[in-house]
Amino acid sequence: MKTVKDIQEIILDQFRKTNSRAGHIVMMRVFHFSVIPKLNPKEQDLFQEAANDLINQGILEYEKSSPECLRLTDKGFENLYNVVSEHEEQPTEKKAFDTTNNIKMNNPFTILKEAIDKVPFVKYALGIAGIAAAVAIIRSFGINNSSVPIISILVMLGFMVLLFIFSTLTKSKERPLKIAGYVLVYTTVLITCISSVLLATSVFFDIPKPIVEYGIFIDDSQDPLPSNIDDRLVKEAYGELDATVRNILSPFSILYENTCFDQNYQQDSACDAEKFAKDFNFAIAELEGNRFISQLDSIDFRQNPIYPDVHPNAFWWEIFSENAIRNQSKVNELWNKYKEYYTDDTKIKINSLLNDDFFKMRLTDLKTLIEANDHIESYYISYAFIKGPDEGKMYKDFLKKLKELKIEIDKNASH
C-alpha cells in the first residue's frame, strides 16, 4: 500500500521522465490514463490529497484551462532532481565490497568449497546432492506424486548403505563385520523378494490391497491446479484477469454507444448499451455484427466521441491506443504476478492475446498509422479495423481470442 508521499513521488516522476524545467507541464490526461489506473482503489483516493499537498507546498501549480495540466514551479524545479541524487549517492568502496560479497555468496559451489575447508565432514553434502539428482531422475519419468521424493530418498539411502557394506566386505578380514554384512545382505534380498511378489499381486489381483489405495502412482498433474495452491489467490488471480479483459473492451463500449445514437441523440432500437456493458458474450457478438461494423465508416479517428462525454477530452485514436498500451502492460503484470495460479490452458490463452497482432501492434501504434495517413481528410475507424488486405481478419481474430480467454476465466474463477 503506497502512502501519500509515495504517490507524490510518482507524480513528480512524470516530470523527471521528460527532464522538465520550471514552467513545464504534464497534462492531466497522462495521470488519468497512465498513472491512476495502476493504483489500487485506496491509493486512487489518496491521489487527490497527494496532488493538493504538492500544490500547497508551491512545488506544482494546477491549471484548469485547456489543456488541463500540472505546471512545475521554480521551487519544484529546485527540489525535483536533488531528491533523486541524494538517493542515488552510495559510497564507492561499500558498493565494491557488497558486489564482491554478493558474487561469492550467490555461488553455491564456492559456499560448499569454503564449508568443506572449514568442516571436512561437510563433503558428505555431495552425497545428498547425488540423492537429490536421483530423485529428479525418478520424477522425470512422470511420477509427480508428493510422496515420491520421500520414498526415493529412503530407497537411495538404503542402496548407499548396502554399497558401503559391500565395499567394506571386500576389504575387511574381521569376522564380526563379515557376519553383520551377510545378515544385512540376506535380509535385504529377502525383503526385496517379498516386496516384489506383494507388488505384483497388488497390481494384478488387488491382494493384499489394490495398488491405487497406496496413492503412490496417482498423477497429481491431472488436476487443473495443484491442490496446495491457496484458493483465495486463485480467485484473486482470475478476478484481476477478468477485470482487465473487460477493461480492454472499454473503448469499444464507448464506440458502441456512439453507434447507437444519432446526432439528435435518438437511440437505434437494435442497440442495447446496458446489456453490452454487462454481458461479455453479447458485447463480442455485437462487435462482430454487421450493424456495428457498418457504422465504423462514419466515425473519424481524429474526432472526439460525441456520446457519452469522455474526460479528459481525447480523440478516438488516443482512447484506443492508450487503453491498449495500459492493458497490455497490465496483462503482463498479472502474468508475472500470478502465472503459477493459472492453468495451462489459461496461460495459452493469455499468451495468444499478448501476441495478437491487432492488440499488440495495430491498437498500440495507432498514432503512427494516423500520422502516416495525415493527407487523408477523414481517416475512418473502419480503415484500421475492417478494411485493408486482411479484410478485418485481425480484428475478428482479436475478438475471438478475447472471448476464448473470458471462457477460460469463467471456467476457473470459481476454483
pLDDT digits (tens, 9 = 90+) for 87-104: 444 444 444 445 445 544
Which contacts of 226-233 are long-range, i.e. CB under 8 A and separated by 24 or more positions?
229/340, 229/341, 231/415, 233/338, 233/341
| pLDDT score, position 88 | 43
Mean pLDDT, range 338-367, rounded to an integer: 92
Which contacts of 44-51 are long-range, i.e. CB under 8 A and separated by 24 or more positions?
46/2, 46/3, 46/4, 46/7, 47/7, 49/4, 50/4, 50/5, 50/7, 50/8, 50/11, 51/8, 51/11
Mean pLDDT, range 125-133, rounded to an integer: 60
Listed by start position, the domains of the chain span 4-88, 92-141, 152-222, 231-412
pTM (2 decimals)?
Answer: 0.47
Other CB atoms within 10 Å distance of the CB of residue 83: 12
Amino acid at 223: D
Strand partners, 267: 261
pLDDT tens digits for 157-166? 666 666 666 6
Mean pLDDT, range 13-38, rounded to an integer: 84
pLDDT tens digits for 136-194? 665 555 555 544 555 656 666 666 666 666 666 656 667 776 777 777 778 877 887 88
Q: What is the spatial distance between Cα 382 and Cα 298, in angstroms, rounded to a whole number?
A: 8
User: Would you place residue 36 in the very low, low, confident or very high pLDDT band (cuts 50, 70, 90)?
Assistant: confident
Q: How many residues does the chain have?
A: 415
In the predicted structure, residue 214 carries a pLDDT above the cut 90? no
In words, the CATH class of domain 4-88 is mainly alpha
Q: Mean pLDDT highest for which of 93-97, 105-109, 402-406?
A: 402-406
| pLDDT score, position 82 | 73
Higher pLDDT, 216 or 339: 339
Which of helix, strand or coil describes residue 208?
coil
| pLDDT score, position 292 | 92
Query: Cis (ω within 30 of 0) for the bond into 312?
Result: yes
pLDDT tens digits for 220-250? 444 454 555 678 889 999 999 999 999 999 9
Mean pLDDT, range 279-299, rounded to an integer: 92
When the pLDDT of each residue in the chain is averaged and rounded to a whole number, the result is 78
DSSP characters over 338-383: HGGGS-HHHHHHHHHHHT-HIIIIITTTHHHHHHHTTTSS--BHHH
Which of helix, strand or coil describes residue 70?
strand
| pLDDT score, position 198 | 83
| pLDDT score, position 222 | 43
Q: How far apart are the first and last CA of the chain?
A: 27
Grid cell listed for 241: 484477469
Strand partners, 63: 69
